[in-house]
Copies of this chain bind each other. A is one copy, B any other.
């Protein structure tokens, strides 16, 4: 089951094209993470035209072409990068290789849209910042746990409408099912996946900055551990982190790989947003213990009472259309470059500073 691991999470929405066929062309490079499917779906539903796909692994290309028959298999990365029609490269490389791919794409004159996390080192981030500054191109990130979840999109609207007052805290839990047998080798090598706070923690930090309206912050404290997977010693199966925003709001999140097999989805991801006049809880992928396995359940509690809103089919995924228009018109409505980079920076800092609580490593930094 694709949905069981979360690795191939690729929600489908109603097509809402913002451009006509051929007005915005993109190509896909590197299919190491299944998120590439969600990235391409999202862009296509927003009107983008998918042209090329390339990966060194022909099996991955074949599977991709089955999902996206309109794409053409290119013979090389160079062929794609040199294609004058392609505006944007969508890539889901091994995490540690995402930056290098992005730099090649941007140097070839393309905007870049990468799976998260976008970097595994601060040096990579710095090189991307410099090239973006120099070229004016975009290095955008698929922070899917907000951008591609209707409950998360709706929560943003509810906050904007002032329904919970001023946001003072964002708390998130991002448990994921580990599905050991379906994971590639690089998933277990820290140098390649970057550590849990860098990897799935990046979603959490991006959401915090967005919902709290923070442009900057610092990591107050962070922890990682391998509590239950001694056979995979470089896997962090647990991480958590406190961030304090420049404006004084707070964030806490926990991420882990402990989703039990009995859960009817890959993870019980939640976001709880506390405001001075109310709060919102997003039960993103499952509302546990209910007869139906519903996703996108948004709970709003404020002075008017308690409401449950089913956001499925309500908001769509405006990010993708905005991203296309941003790329064509050089605006920043989908996401600012500063925001994408700040979330990346904080997740790298969280990982770098984390105390490792793995049994028999206690006390080790």
Chain A positions near chain B (C-beta within 8 angstroms): 165-166, 168-169, 171, 173, 175, 220-221, 223, 225, 227-228, 238, 240, 242, 244, 248, 250, 252, 254, 256, 258, 260-264, 268, 272, 274-279, 281, 286, 288-290, 299, 301-308, 355, 357-359, 362
Q: Nearest-CB distance from A182 to chain B (Å)?
A: 18
Q: Nearest-CB distance from A170 to chain B (Å)?
A: 11
Other-chain residue from B173, B289, B303 in contact with A272 (beta carbon distance below 8 A): B173
Residues of B within 8 A of A254 (CB): 169, 171, 252, 274
| Number of chain copies forming the complex | 2
CA distance A65 to B240 in the complex (A): 49
8 tightest A-B CB contacts, nearest first = A289-B308, A221-B221, A262-B305, A228-B276, A260-B278, A248-B357, A168-B227, A260-B302
What are 7 sample pairs from A and B whose C-beta atoms fall under 8 A apart? Answer: A166-B228, A220-B221, A221-B242, A223-B250, A240-B252, A242-B252, A262-B305
B357 touches A238 (CB 8 A): no
- A interface, by DSSP: helix, strand, loop or mixed? strand
Q: What residue of chain B has the Cβ atom nearest to residue A281's Cβ?
A: B288
Q: Nearest-CB distance from A26 to chain B (Å)?
A: 39
Q: Nearest-CB distance from A253 to chain B (Å)?
A: 9
Residues of B within 8 A of A171 (CB): 173, 254
A274 touches B258 (CB 8 A): yes
CA distance A268 to B303 in the complex (A): 14
B260 touches A225 (CB 8 A): no
A274 touches B256 (CB 8 A): yes
A225 touches B242 (CB 8 A): no
CA distance A30 to B9 in the complex (A): 58
Residues of B within 8 A of A305 (CB): 262
**Contact flag A248-B359 (CB < 8 Å), given A262-B278, A274-B256, A276-B228:** yes
**Contact flag A223-B238 (CB < 8 Å), given A261-B303, A262-B302:** no
B359 touches A238 (CB 8 A): no
Residues of B within 8 A of A227 (CB): 166, 168, 248, 276
Other-chain residue from B169, B260, B307 in contact with A240 (beta carbon distance below 8 A): B169
Residues of B within 8 A of A260 (CB): 277-279, 301-303
CA distance A239 to B160 in the complex (A): 25
**Contact flag A264-B306 (CB < 8 Å), given A274-B258, A288-B281, A301-B288:** yes
**Contact flag A357-B250 (CB < 8 Å), given A169-B238, A260-B301:** yes
Residues of B within 8 A of A250 (CB): 223, 225, 238, 240, 357
A262 touches B166 (CB 8 A): no
Other-chain residue from B268, B279, B290 in contact with A301 (beta carbon distance below 8 A): B268
CA distance A163 to B11 in the complex (A): 33
